[in-house]
Amino acid sequence: NAEILCYPRNDNECSVILTYCRGAKIPLTIAAGRTNLNGSATPNGGMVISIEKMTLPEPKLNLNARCISSPVGIYLEDMRNATLQQSHNRLHFPVDPTSRREAMVGGAVSCNASGFVPGPAGAMRYWTEALDFLTPDGYKITCKRGHYISNNGEFILDYPDGPVTWKVLTYPRPDIKNASGPYSDENGTLDLVDYLVGSEGIFGLITSATFRLKEMPDEYLNLFFTLP
């Protein structure tokens, strides 16, 4: 039901689209692999910006840092395979949602996708080290983990015209897996990377991501139990 559909290929094209939509007050929805079940990628009106052509630069491994940088428009499984190939099976990316062959990296980050590994280590947020991010007015922010930490419930971001303040959400979160909205902290202290992962595009558009990797185990065993 969208009125406009765009396929940007890079940060600059995304920035132009975001700036135009903000100025023209056009509702904007970001679409990735559309593997979700809640219909959030099929809006009623406005513009849809698809990230499926944002596939460059190709994933690049930093073996010493045990990290891989990835575009957002490739499938998560392709990024996982690139990790194995470039590290010669020494490192792997452990998040393995069942939709990893259809879900794109950008969508997996935006919804904090998780797989079979239990607990926080099984979700995208735990392994995300850095993000390139476009704000709704088209300004690009590169945030590495530990670079932007909120203080007194606020992020202070570096804009060309001076610092800009973002408020931190402070509602309590249950100690179980949940998808109740953007990440929050009751004390108002958060890393900006954690805040953006799982935010579903509410704060802007993620255009690239860097992930920490894990050593490939010598052997492992998958167990499945059926309970009555």
Take residue 92 and report the two structure tokens written for it: 């792997």
**57 by DSSP, 3-state: which?**
coil
Answer whether 0.75 is exceeded by the pTM: yes
**Residue type at 63?**
L
Residue 174: predicted pLDDT: 79
Residue pLDDT, tens place only, 138-185:
999 999 999 999 998 999 998 888 899 999 999 888 777 766 678 999
Cβ neighbour number for residue 73 with a 10 Å cutoff: 23
Q: Residue 40's pLDDT band (boundaries 50, 70, 90)?
A: low
Q: Residue 86's pLDDT band (boundaries 50, 70, 90)?
A: very high
Residue pLDDT, tens place only, 92-130:
999 988 889 999 999 999 999 988 777 778 899 999 999
| C-alpha closest to that of 107 among 12, 158, 38 | 38
Q: Phi then psi for 58, rounded to 5 degrees? A: -65, 160
Residue 59: predicted pLDDT: 98
Residue 193: predicted pLDDT: 97
The structural domains of the chain, ordered by start, are 4-215 (3.30.465.10)
Beta bridge partners of 132: 142, 208
**Residue type at 150?**
S
- The better pLDDT of the pair 97, 58 is held by 58
Residue 227: predicted pLDDT: 80
